[in-house]
Amino acid sequence: MNSPVELEKHLRAETSRTGLSKTCLQRDFLNNLFFVLGKFPGLASQHDYYLALAYTVRDRLLARWVDTAETYMQEGSRTVVYLSAEYLLGPHLGNNILNLGIEKPVREAVTELGLNYNALLEQEVEPGLGNGGLGRLAACFLDSLATLEIPSLGYGIRYEHGIFAQEIVDGWQMEKTDTWLRHGNPWEVVRPEWAVEVKLGGHTERVTDAHGHEQVRWVPGRSVLGVPYDTPILGYRNQTANTLRLWCAEAVDSFDLSTFNRGDYWGAVHRKIESENLTKVLYPNDDQIQGKELRLAQQYFFVSCSLQDMLRIMRVQGIPLRHFHEKFAVQLNDTHPAIAVAELMRLLVDEHDMAWTTAWEVTRHTFSYTNHTLLPEALEHWPVSLFARLLPRHLEIIYTINAGFLDGIRWACLGDPATVARMSLISEGEERQVRMAHLACVGSHAINGVAALHTELLKQDVLADFHAFMPQKFTNKTNGVTPRRWMALANPRLASLLNWRLGEGWLTDLTRLRELESLVDDPDFRAEWRDIKRINKARYADYVRRVTGIALDPDTLFDVQVKRIHEYKRQHLNVLHIVARYHRLRMDPHLDLPPRTFIFGGKTAPGYTMAKLMIRLVTAVADVINRDPVVKGRMRVVFVPNFNVRTGQLLYAAAELSEQISTAGKEASGTGNMKFMMNGALTIGTLDGANIEIREEAGPENFFLFGLTAEEVAHRKREGYDPMLHYHTNPDLRAALDLIRHGFFSRGDGELFRPLVENLLHHDPYMLCADFQSYLDCQTSVDDAYLDVEHWTRMSILNTARSGKFSSDRSIREYCDEIWRVKPVPIGREARPSQSSPCEG
C-alpha cells in the first residue's frame, strides 16, 4: 500500500483539477459551478460563472503553491518579506490565466459553453487595497519576485473596505464605500490555525525572574486576533507560486454570553465590533485623534501579526532565533511598517529572553527601508501621548534605541545639540512626537530611494543628517512595473506584434525590446503600430462613452494625466494650458492645431479640499469646452471617474501623450510614466522623479521637456518667489486665470474657484506660474511633432524599445543582489499533466 505522502503526490499529479486542456477546463468549470457554488446553468448568473471559472483557474495554481511552500521549507530558503500597508493588485483572473499560459483553451472552453470570456473577466470586483502608486508598486514587486523564482512572502492588511469608489456628481468627487468582499473572494484561503494574538494599550510592569534579572511585562488593555488570509502569487510561465498573506482582525472572544444573559445585548458583541473595526477600512480619516489612533493600531497590528508568523516559521523549520536575519530579509515599504523595528525587539527581548545587544544586531540586519516621499508631511510621526496610550512598551523600547543611537551621534558630532535634535527619534516641540522615518533609518541596514534624483534629494535634504553619518546605508533602486500586466494583459495586440517580431522571451527580458530599433524605419511595421494604437483608442473611447456618456474621437491626440489628485502633481497646470489653448482657438478659430482629447483621472483624499476643487475645475472646463461649437472636433476634455488597475489597463494602451508635470523635486519616482512609455506614449514632463531616467533612456529627442529643475525651484524660493510677476507679464497666463476667476467656467460664479486662483497668485507653492510659459512652449512642440505622423510613430516605437530598464524584474534583481542577498530557488516539479489526462479518458 502506498504511504499517505506517496498517495497525496500521486493524486496531486493525476487529478483532473490540474489539467490544462479545454476538456479538463470545461469539466472542472461545470463541477465547480455545481459542487462549489451549488448552481446549475439554468439558475447561474454571470457572476456565478465568473466564480466557477475563478475556482477552476485557482485549482491549477494550488499544485504549484503547495510545491513552492514545500520546497522552501525543505531547503530552509532565505526569504524576502515585503511589509506593505497597501497592495493594489488589480483583477486576478486574467493575470493568472496569462501567467499559466492557458488563455486559448480557457477561451475555447467557455465559448463552447455559450459564454463570453471577456464578459466573465469583467465580473471580477477589483480589490482596492491601496491608495495608488505605493500599493501598485508592491503588487508589481510580488509579480516579479514570483517570476524570478525568489522565495518571498508579502504581508499586509485585508481591509474589508478598500479605497473608495469615486463618482462625479455635479462635477464634484463623491466617495462611495468599496464592497469588494460582498460576493466573497475566490482567490484567498483562510488559515485560522495560524491566527495570532496582538496586544494593545494597557501598561508595563517590571518583574524579577528566577535568576534575579529584571524583565518588562506588558499588561495589555485589550487584545485582538489576527487571522491570515493567503493569496497565491503566480510567476510567469514557471512553477513558482509565492504567498501574499493579509491579516484580518477578529475578537479573541466574539460573544460574551454572560453579558447577553444579563440583557446587555450591545455589550455582548461590543468587543467583536471594536476588534473588527481595526481592519474595516483602508486609511481612516486621521484628522481627529480617534482616526490617528486607529491608523497607528492598523500599522502595528499587521506588523505584529507578520513578525509573529515569521517566528512560527522559524520554529517549524527548527531555526534558532539568533539566525532570524539570515532566514528573513524584511523590506519596509515606506514608513507605515516602521514600528516593526520596535516590535521585533519586543518579541526577541521580552518574549524570547534574548539579550538586548544580540537582539539589536539581529534587528538591524533584518530590516531595510524604502523611502517613497520627499514631502515632509508624508514622513509619518505620531504623538508620544498616543504611543504611550496605545503601545506603551514600544515607546519604552524606542526611548532605549534612541538613547543608544544619540550617544553615538554625540560622539561623532562632538555633541552639537542641533544635530542631535534633528536626528533624534523623538521630536521636541509643543507636542513631542515619534519620527517613524528616523526609526526606520536607525533600525535598518539599508535605505533606498526609488529614482536617481529622489535618492540624491534624500541624501542632500530629507535624510541629509543620516546620510552624513551613515552613507554606506544609502543606495538607489529605481522603481519598475511588471510588463506582464501592463503590456501583455493591458495591450494584447501590441504583445502579439512583439511576440511575432521578437519571440515570446521579451516578457521576462524587457531589454530585448531594443530589437525594435531595427524596425523603426520599416513603413509596414510603423503602419501596424499605428493601427494597434488606433484600435486601443477606439476601445477606450467606447469605455468612456459607456461610463460618462461623452463621445471621444479616436483620431484625435489622446493627451492623458491619470494619477492621484494632488497640488504637487499639478493637474491644474494642465488645465491652465487647456484654458489657454481654448482661449487662443476662440480668438482665432483658424489656428492650425491638431485636435486633442484631454483625459483626466484619479482620486484624492476625502478631506483634501483643494484637490477636490481641482477636480471640480477639470469638470467645469470640460462642460464648457465640450458644448462649444467653435471648438467642436478640435478639443475635448473628460474626467473619467474611479480610475483603478482595470481602467488603467485600457488607458495606458490607448494614450499617446503622458503628462508627468509635477514640480521638480517633489515626485519620488512615479510608475505611471513607465506604463505609458512601455505602451508607446510620449512623455511631456519636468526633470522630476523617474522622468529623468526615462528621458535618458528614450533620448532627449523623444521626450518633451519643460520647466525648472529641482535646483532652480529651490533657488527661486530662497530668493523670494512672486507668482504675481508672471501673472502681470504673461498674457496667456493672465487670460487663463481671469477666465477661471471671473466665473466663465462656473456660470458667472466668481467665488467657486477663488481659493484655487488666489492660492496660485499669492502663494503658488508648486510653481505653476513659473513653469507656465515653458509648458506652453513645450505643448507647441507636441503639436508640431504630432502633425508629422511618421515622425511621431518613430518616437513612439523608440519609447517602447527603450523602456526595458523600467521592468520591475530589473528592480527586484537589484534588491536581491545588493540589499537582500537572496538567490532564486527554482520549483522543479513539472506541474502540467500529461496529454493522457484523466479528463480526456
| Predicted confidence (pLDDT) per residue in 644-673, tens digit | 999 999 999 999 999 999 999 999 999 999
Q: 37, 48 in Cβ contact below 8 A? A: yes
Residue of 295, 336, 526, 563 marked catalytic: 563
Q: What is the pLDDT of residues 504-537, one digit of tens each?
A: 899 999 999 999 999 999 999 999 999 999 999 9
Asked if residue 497 has pLDDT above 60, the reply is yes
DSSP states of 750-810 as a string? TTTTHHHHHHHHHT-TT-HHHHHHHHHHHHHHHHHHHHSHHHHHHHHHHHHHT-GGGBHHH
User: What is the predicted pLDDT for the residue at 214?
Assistant: 83
Mean pLDDT confidence for 314-335: 97
Report the DSSP beta bridge partners of residue 474: 447
Residue of 64, 564, 572, 577 marked catalytic: 564
Asked if residue 242 has pLDDT above 90, the reply is yes
Measured in whole angstroms, the distance separating CA 646 from the mean position of its chain's CA atoms is: 13
Q: Provide the grid cell at 544.
A: 468612456
Mean pLDDT confidence for 805-816: 98
Ramachandran region of residue 212, left (φ > 0), alpha (ψ -120 to 50) or beta?
Answer: left
Is 728 one of the annotated active-site residues of the chain? Answer: no
Q: Using CA atoms, how far apart are residues 331 and 338, in angstroms rounded to an integer?
A: 10
Nearest Cα neighbor of 658 from 626, 618, 690 is 690
Q: Using CA atoms, how far apart are residues 639 and 548, in angstroms rounded to an integer?
A: 9
Give the DSSP letter of residue 381: E
Q: Using CA atoms, how far apart are residues 359 and 356, in angstroms rounded to an integer?
A: 5
Is 533 one of the annotated active-site residues of the chain? Answer: no
Q: What is the pLDDT of residues 451-486, one digit of tens each?
A: 999 999 999 999 999 999 999 999 999 999 999 999
User: What is the predicted pLDDT for the residue at 374?
Assistant: 86
> How far, in Å, are 92, 131, 178, 633 from residue 127 at the CA level?
9, 11, 9, 37
Asked if residue 4 has pLDDT above 80, the reply is no
Q: Provide the grid cell at 265.
A: 445585548
Mean pLDDT confidence for 44-60: 97
Q: Provide the grid cell at 706.
A: 519643460
Q: What is the pLDDT of residues 546-572, one digit of tens each?
A: 999 999 999 999 999 999 999 999 999
Is 372 one of the annotated active-site residues of the chain? Answer: yes
Q: Using CA atoms, how far apart are residues 615 and 456, in angstroms rounded to an integer?
A: 32
Q: Using CA atoms, how far apart are residues 634 and 822, in angstroms rounded to an integer?
A: 54
Asked if residue 699 has pLDDT above 70, the reply is yes
DSSP states of 602-648 as a string? ----TT-HHHHHHHHHHHHHHHHHHH-GGGTTTEEEEE-SS--HHHH
* Residue in this structure with the C-alpha cell 511576440, named with its chain if needed: 499
User: What is the predicted pLDDT for the residue at 114?
Assistant: 96
Ramachandran region of residue 633, left (φ > 0), alpha (ψ -120 to 50) or beta?
Answer: left
Mean pLDDT confidence for 744-751: 97
In 134-240, the DSSP E strands lie at 152-157, 165-169, 172-176, 189-190, 196-200, 203-208, 214-219, 222-234
Q: Using CA atoms, how far apart are residues 263 and 677, in angstroms rounded to an integer?
A: 64
Q: Using CA atoms, how far apart are residues 431 and 383, in angstroms rounded to an integer?
A: 7
Asked if residue 247 has pLDDT above 80, the reply is yes
Is 454 one of the annotated active-site residues of the chain? Answer: no
Residue of 327, 603, 675, 726 marked catalytic: 675
The residue type found at 447 is: I
Residue of 92, 327, 346, 372 marked catalytic: 372
CB contact set of 50 (below 8 Å; sequence gap of 6+):
93, 120, 121, 123, 124
Q: Using CA atoms, how far apart are residues 352 and 315, in angstroms rounded to an integer?
A: 12
pLDDT grade for 799, boundaries at 50, 70 and 90: very high
Is the pLDDT higher at 176 or at 285? 176
Asked if residue 379 has pLDDT above 90, the reply is no
Q: Using CA atoms, how far apart are residues 89 and 808, in angstroms rounded to an integer?
A: 14
Measured in whole angstroms, the distance separating CA 741 from the mean position of its chain's CA atoms is: 36
In 623-719, the DSSP E strands lie at 635-639, 657-660, 682-685, 704-705
Asked if residue 332 has pLDDT above 60, the reply is yes
Q: Using CA atoms, how far apart are residues 29 and 113, in angstroms rounded to an integer?
A: 10
CB contact set of 240 (below 8 Å; sequence gap of 6+):
64, 68, 146, 147, 149, 234, 826, 827
Asked if residue 832 has pLDDT above 70, the reply is no
Is 675 one of the annotated active-site residues of the chain? Answer: yes
Asked if residue 772 has pLDDT above 90, the reply is yes
Residue of 569, 577, 616, 726 marked catalytic: 569
Nearest Cα neighbor of 829 from 104, 74, 233 is 74
Is 292 one of the annotated active-site residues of the chain? Answer: no
Asked if residue 265 has pLDDT above 50, the reply is no
Q: What is the pLDDT of residues 579-597, one digit of tens each?
A: 999 999 999 999 999 999 9
* Residue in this structure with the C-alpha cell 514570483, named with its chain if needed: 146
pLDDT grade for 131, boundaries at 50, 70 and 90: confident
Measured in whole angstroms, the distance separating CA 59 from the mean position of its chain's CA atoms is: 27
Q: 235, 149 in Cβ contact below 8 A? A: yes
* Residue in this structure with the C-alpha cell 495560524, named with its chain if needed: 194
Residue of 147, 647, 671, 793 marked catalytic: 671
Q: Using CA atoms, how far apart are residues 403 and 382, in angstroms rounded to an integer?
A: 19
The residue type found at 315 is: R
Q: Using CA atoms, how far apart are residues 698 and 792, in angstroms rounded to an integer?
A: 13
pLDDT grade for 257, boundaries at 50, 70 and 90: low
User: What is the predicted pLDDT for the residue at 156?
Assistant: 98
